Structure formats: structure tokens, C-alpha cells
Amino acid sequence: MERRRVKVYKKGIIVIPKEIREKLGIKEGDIIELIVNGDRISIEKPLTLLDLFGIDGDEALEIAKEIIKERRKEVEKEIRS
């Protein structure tokens, strides 16, 4: 287990060290999860569709976008009814 200390800046901002970001594949704009367990905080990079579908990730992403698009149409139709 690796431990690193980081400073908390104004508004609660922390910086994840470059080595850790690179190791975990975290880049600007990514979403990470904070898990609070008692008085401890863990940070995790959640799995994405790309992670789950591997090399078919691009195709899976397009399918997911289509599903979201269709669901939005359904919701709009329900709201208008």
C-alpha cells in the first residue's frame, strides 16, 4: 500500500501527485469517487463503460449514447403527456 500526504488548499482543493495520476490513468476532467468510511477518506477511479467493454469500448460508448438519447425522448414524451 502506498501512502502520500497532500495539502488541502482553499475550498478543499487537493492535488493528486502526478505519479499517482499516471499510474491510475487519471486525467483532467475525469470523475473520481470519494468514499467516506468513519473518519477515513478513500479516493477511487470508478470503472467506465470503456473499462468494462475493453477493446469494444468505442462501440459500447456509441451504444450508450444512443440509449441515453432514446431515454431522453421517452422522458420528454412522458412530460408532455
| Per-residue model confidence as pLDDT tens digits over 39-70 | 999 999 887 766 666 656 677 778 888 899 99
Domain that holds residue 57: 47-81
Are 53 and 35 within one domain? Answer: no
pLDDT on residue 59: 75
C-alpha grid cell, residue 72: 431522453
Are 4 and 38 within one domain? Answer: yes
pLDDT on residue 78: 87
- Tell whether the model's pLDDT for residue 26 goes beyond 80: yes
Per the prediction, the chain carries an average pLDDT of: 86
34 close to 23: Cβ distance less than 8 angstroms: no
Residue 37 belongs to a domain with what CATH number?
2.10.260.10
Q: Structure pTM?
A: 0.55
Are 37 and 7 within one domain? Answer: yes
In the chain, how many domains are there? Answer: 2
CA 38/CA 58 separation, integer angstroms: 38
